Amino acid sequence: MTDKLEESSRPGRPGFFVQTLMVGPVLYIVVMLWFFNASAAYDGLLSLIGWSFAAAYYSVLTICIVFVAGLPLRLSWRARAWWVDRWWLAIAGMALGLVVIVVGSIRGGETFVDDTGYRDYVDGVNFPLSVVGWFILAFCLMHTWWPARGSRARRAVTPA
C-alpha cells in the first residue's frame, strides 16, 4: 500500500501547498469579475478596496471548504486512484463550473435599484446558481491531478 501512496505523490504532481497557491489567484480573479458583474452600483475606489478584501476572504474560505470536502480524495488511496484515473472529470468540472457561473451571472431575475437619482429595474444575478458553479470550479481546481506519463499498467492500483 505504501508503494501506491508514494506513486501518487511522486514528483511531477504539485503538492498541496503549491496547488493551493495556484488555485487562490484563479478564484480571486473569478470572484472579482463576478463582483463587477453583480454590482448594482460602483462608487469608485472604496468599492474596489472592499471587493478586493471580500474576494480574498471568499477565496480563502472556499479553499478551506473544498479542502475539507476533498479529504477523502487525499486520504483514501482507492478514492484517489479512482479520481486520478478519471482525470478528465476535473477538467470537465472546471469547464462546467465556469459555464454555470456565467449562466448564473447572465440569467438572473430583475432587481429594482433605488440609487441616488437612479430608479430602474436591472438584470440581477442568480446567486444560488453562481454559488453552485463557484464550488464546482473550486473543487475541481483544488483536486486536479494530471495523468502520469507512461502506461496505465504502471499506474494501476490493485486492492491489497
- Which range is least confidently modeled, 13-27, 43-57, 79-93, 139-153? 139-153
Instruction: State which H helix or E strand residue 8 sits in.
Output: helix 2-8
Residues 102-124 as b or e (16 or more Cβ within 10 Å = b): eebbeebeeeeeeeeeeeeeeeb
Task: Please give the grid coordinates belonging to residue 146.
Answer: 494530471
- Over residues 109-114, the mean pLDDT reads 65
| pTM metric for this prediction | 0.73
pLDDT attached to residue 58: 94
The three-state (H, E, C) secondary structure of 100-116, written as one string: HHHHHHHCCCEEEEEEC
Higher pLDDT residue, 84 or 15?
84
pLDDT tens-digit profile of 122-140? 666 788 888 999 999 999 9
